[in-house]
Chain A
């Protein structure tokens, strides 16, 4: 059965800290891995990763994929209170077909950044 596991489930840090969120997966015919940030409502798209070893970066956030070890990490440097959210990892398996594009989500990591 395809699955995505995120760790830790929750994390409390102080402003200025650097955090690393983990996502491991088991999926048949991997296609891509996506990271989302969910504050109070809808998840917002952060990154999509398809190739190993290529870092995606946006401001203080960065992510990298390891297709051999089947995991990805999301790094946030110099955290701010506005980074507080649930971070979701999702995997798109190729066997769902390019037209469906279904995603399998992990349960998320709840990050709380204290001032």
Chain B
């Protein structure tokens, strides 16, 4: 079964600073990868998904971007953080021919 790693676990950043969150997956090849954000009191919002290296689809326009430089690596970035970027960021993985998504441990981001 796959294992999903995310780091850092928590992050406090000032407004206007850059961001880089990393997600890596073990135990599977060519997975679909997803970035979600969960704000307090709200559901999971899909930000980006990727079906392969270099292939990124954005679900919600905002100041975040994503990249997939390797098959099992997914990166979430921002050039300048906003207060509204605070939240719990989750990376998820889906193996091809399966429908279940499995989640990493998440990164809690606070923008001050």
Does B21 reach chain A (CB closer than 8 Å)?
no
Does A21 reach chain B (CB closer than 8 Å)?
no
Does A67 reach chain B (CB closer than 8 Å)?
no
Whether A41 lies near B106 (C-beta < 8 A) is: yes
Report B27-51 CB contacts with A as 1/0, cut-off 8 Å. Answer: 0000010100000011110100101
Supposing A42-B90, A100-B49 touch, asked if A108 and B103 sit within 8 A by C-beta, the answer is no
Does A58 reach chain B (CB closer than 8 Å)?
no
Roughly how many angstroms separate A90 CA and B104 CA in the complex, as a whole number? Answer: 17
Pick from A48, A88, A102: contact of B49, CB below 8 A: A102
Q: B57's closest neighbor in chain A, by CB?
A: A100
Number of A-B residue pairs at CB separation under 8 A = 52
Count of residues in B whose CB is under 8 Å from the partner chain? 24
**Distance between A10 CB and nearest chain B CB, rounded to angstroms:** 11
Does A84 reach chain B (CB closer than 8 Å)?
no
Roughly how many angstroms separate A103 CA and B100 CA in the complex, as a whole number? Answer: 9
Whether A42 lies near B101 (C-beta < 8 A) is: no
Roughly how many angstroms separate A9 CA and B42 CA in the complex, as a whole number? Answer: 11
Supposing A88-B43, A106-B43, A107-B42 touch, asked if A99 and B105 sit within 8 A by C-beta, the answer is no
* 14 further interface pairs, Cβ-Cβ under 8 Å (given A45-B101, A48-B99): A34-B100, A41-B106, A42-B103, A43-B44, A43-B103, A88-B43, A99-B51, A100-B51, A100-B57, A101-B98, A101-B99, A105-B43, A105-B44, A107-B42
**B interface, CB within 8 angstroms of A:** 32, 34, 41-44, 46, 49, 51, 57, 59, 90, 94, 96-106
Q: List 24 A-B contacts (CB under 8 A).
A: A34-B100, A34-B101, A41-B105, A41-B106, A42-B90, A42-B104, A42-B106, A43-B44, A43-B103, A45-B100, A45-B102, A48-B99, A48-B100, A88-B44, A99-B51, A99-B96, A100-B49, A100-B51, A101-B32, A102-B46, A102-B49, A103-B46, A103-B101, A107-B41
